[in-house]
């Protein structure tokens, strides 16, 4: 079968890499893809949110199944358009994907389904929002309601910082995503990303990972789309997993179904491991990035049948097996990210780095220029390694990075610290 992977990031490279291994797949295309996905198959220069162009390509090139990667494509209704055109795809409809594209919608859903989450209120103007902030104690959590490339969340340590975040968001710093904001209770604990597939009725749990959102070592600096992650997560044991499945994932899927918006695809719950158990602080309607990278190298089974089953409604028949051990991914980003940065710097040494045992390098913001690989985005490379232990995986990843010659890039040197040492590293 011919599979089209929609998107251009590290998540999409990881999904394409795993799908390419399936005996069911005879042809694989990425749209638009990157320099890494180009090594797996063709790349089609199509905007991931351009449903008519995607449909036209599918018809012309006889695509059998479309894997939709990014949140923006789901929010734009690409899955809806493909369904209407009779083209099978992986990913929820626009209505179901509101669980990510509107944080206020997700909060209402949690209340309806009895899902444990933080207390919150929604605002569209600055004065009442600031008045509510003055009723709270620090730290303060201020979120843009809509999609903001993983950067629309401010955890403020002071009232002044929180009020500035309110002004920025409602003032247009995040465009339409910030016209409505959510101010919510700060939850104490460790963050965990948990994933499950759904065909609208059945739920197939996947694995969990722990992301590192801050830009710099010691969890310092601004929030990013993710600077690295690892799996498994010691704080997320079997009891927590069972609670997350029965109290969060299954009720969310069931409630969306009752609303007439069945959820088909992967549901990503951002959880805080509190003293009273896991609580949701966000939902996402797609695979995580960089969580997908560790998930794909740990998955032993063929992923394609499970993805197909989310569309056909046969997920209850699927079982997935996972490799023993652990995996870690370290994101290499362009200096300046998540703020302003320059594109076009040359990256060398990727062949040497990829030759390390247990290492796979997924491309995110890359492009080919002649014989060179260049940086073409903020998050550029995901150096991913698997090992019998997390420490072995971590050491493999950082040894591989030492062979990458890219002075214009940076990366965190402490990915996995909570599981490895239990004590914060020295703050940068």
| pLDDT digits 0-9 by tens, 124-147 | 999 999 999 998 889 999 999 888
Res. 105: pLDDT tops 60:
yes
Res. 427: pLDDT tops 60:
no
Q: pLDDT: is 347 or 168 the higher one?
A: 347
Write down the pTM of the prediction. Answer: 0.93
pLDDT tier at 185 (50, 70, 90 boundaries)? Answer: confident
Listed in order, the ranges of the chain carrying CATH 3.40.50.20 are: 2-90
SS3 labels along 23-46: CCCCEEEEEECCCCHHHCCEECCC
CB contact set of 413 (below 8 Å; sequence gap of 6+): 217, 398
Q: Tell me what pLDDT residue 152 has.
A: 81
Average pLDDT in the 67-75 region? Answer: 96
Lowest mean pLDDT among 11-20, 37-46, 151-160: 151-160
Tell whether domain 326-420 is in CATH 3.90.600.10: yes
| Mean residue pLDDT across the chain | 95
Distance CA 390, CA 395 (A): 9
Q: pLDDT: is 423 or 196 the higher one?
A: 196
Average pLDDT in the 93-100 region? Answer: 96
Listed in order, the ranges of the chain carrying CATH 3.90.600.10 are: 326-420
Q: Tell me what pLDDT residue 149 has.
A: 67
Distance CA 122, CA 111 (A): 14
User: Which residue carries 């023993």 as its tokens?
Assistant: 324
CATH of domain 188-317: 3.30.470.20
Helix (H, G, I), strand (E, B) or coil at 330: strand
Listed in order, the ranges of the chain carrying CATH 3.30.1490.20 are: 121-184
Q: pLDDT: is 154 or 422 the higher one?
A: 154
Q: Tell me what pLDDT residue 392 has.
A: 98
Q: pLDDT: is 149 or 152 the higher one?
A: 152
pLDDT tier at 426 (50, 70, 90 boundaries)? Answer: low
Average pLDDT in the 33-39 region? Answer: 98
Beta bridge partners of 270: 193, 282
Res. 424: pLDDT tops 80:
no
Q: pLDDT: is 16 or 146 the higher one?
A: 16
CATH number belonging to the domain at 121-184, selected among 3.40.50.300, 3.10.520.10, 3.30.1490.20, 3.10.20.600: 3.30.1490.20
Whether residue 389 is preceded by a cis peptide bond, meaning omega within 30 degrees of 0, is: no
Q: What is the pLDDT of residues 388-411, one digit of tens each?
A: 999 999 999 999 999 999 999 999
CB atoms within 10 A of CB 158: 11
Check: CB of residue 240 under 8 Å from CB of residue 277: yes
pLDDT tier at 153 (50, 70, 90 boundaries)? Answer: confident
DSSP tag of 248: I
User: Which residue carries 């969580």 as its tokens?
Assistant: 291
Listed in order, the ranges of the chain carrying CATH 3.30.470.20 are: 188-317
CATH number belonging to the domain at 2-90, selected among 3.40.50.1980, 3.20.20.70, 3.90.190.10, 3.40.50.20: 3.40.50.20
Q: What is the pLDDT of residues 317-372, one digit of tens each?
A: 999 999 999 999 999 999 999 999 999 999 999 999 999 999 999 999 999 999 99
Average pLDDT in the 263-270 region? Answer: 98
Distance CA 343, CA 349 (A): 18
For the chain, give the percent of residues with pLDDT over 90. 88
Q: Tell me what pLDDT residue 428 has.
A: 41
Res. 237: pLDDT tops 70:
yes
Distance CA 335, CA 410 (A): 6
Distance CA 348, CA 328 (A): 22
Q: Tell me what pLDDT residue 211 has.
A: 96
């Amino acid at each position: 079968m011919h599979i089209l992977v929609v998107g251009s990031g590290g998540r999409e490279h990881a999904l394409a890499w795993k799908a390419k291994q399936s005996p069911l797949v005879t042809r694989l295309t990425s749209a638009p893809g990157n320099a890494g996905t180009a090594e797996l198959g063709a790349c089609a220069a199509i905007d991931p949110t351009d449903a008519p162009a995607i449909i036209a390509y599918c018809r012309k090139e006889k695509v059998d199944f479309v894997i939709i990667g990014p949140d923006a494509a789901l929010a734009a209704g690409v899955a809806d358009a493909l369904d209407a055109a009779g083209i099978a795809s992986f990913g929820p409809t626009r209505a179901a994907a509101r669980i990510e594209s509107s944080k206020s919608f997700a909060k209402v859903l949690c209340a309806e389904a009895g899902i444990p989450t933080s207390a919150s209120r929604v605002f569209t103007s600055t004065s009442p929002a600031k008045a509510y902030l003055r009723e709270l104690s620090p730290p303060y959590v201020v979120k843009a309601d809509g999609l903001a490339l993983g950067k629309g969340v401010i955890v403020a340590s002071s009232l002044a910082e929180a009020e500035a975040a309110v002004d920025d968001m409602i003032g247009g710093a995040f465009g339409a995503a910030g016209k409505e904001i959510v101010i919510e209770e700060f939850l104490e604990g460790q963050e965990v990303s948990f994933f499950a597939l759904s065909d609208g009725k059945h739920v197939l749990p996947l694995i969990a990972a722990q992301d590192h959102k801050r830009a710099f070592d010691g969890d310092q600096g601004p929030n990013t789309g993710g600077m690295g992650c690892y799996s498994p997560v010691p704080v997320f044991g079997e009891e927590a997993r069972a609670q997350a499945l029965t109290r969060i994932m299954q009720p969310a899927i069931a409630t969306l179904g009752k609303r007439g918006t069945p959820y088909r695809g992967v549901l990503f719950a951002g959880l805080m491991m509190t003293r009273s158990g896991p609580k949701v602080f966000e939902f996402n309607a797609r695979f995580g990035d960089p969580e997908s990278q560790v998930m794909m190298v740990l998955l032993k089974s063929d992923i394609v049948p499970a993805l197909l089953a989310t569309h056909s409604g046969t997920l209850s028949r699927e079982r997935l097996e996972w490799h023993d051990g652990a995996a870690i991914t370290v994101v290499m980003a362009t200096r300046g990210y998540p703020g302003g940065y320059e594109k076009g710097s040359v990256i060398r040494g990727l062949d040497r780095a990829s030759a390390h045992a247990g290492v796979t390098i997924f491309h995110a913001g890359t492009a080919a220029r002649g014989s060179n690989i260049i940086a073409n985005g903020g998050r550029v490379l995901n150096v991913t390694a698997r090992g019998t232990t997390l420490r072995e995986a971590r050491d493999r990843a950082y040894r591989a990075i030492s062979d990458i010659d890219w002075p214009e890039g940076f990366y965190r040197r402490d990915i996995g610290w909570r599981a490895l040492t239990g004590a914060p590293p020295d703050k940068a």
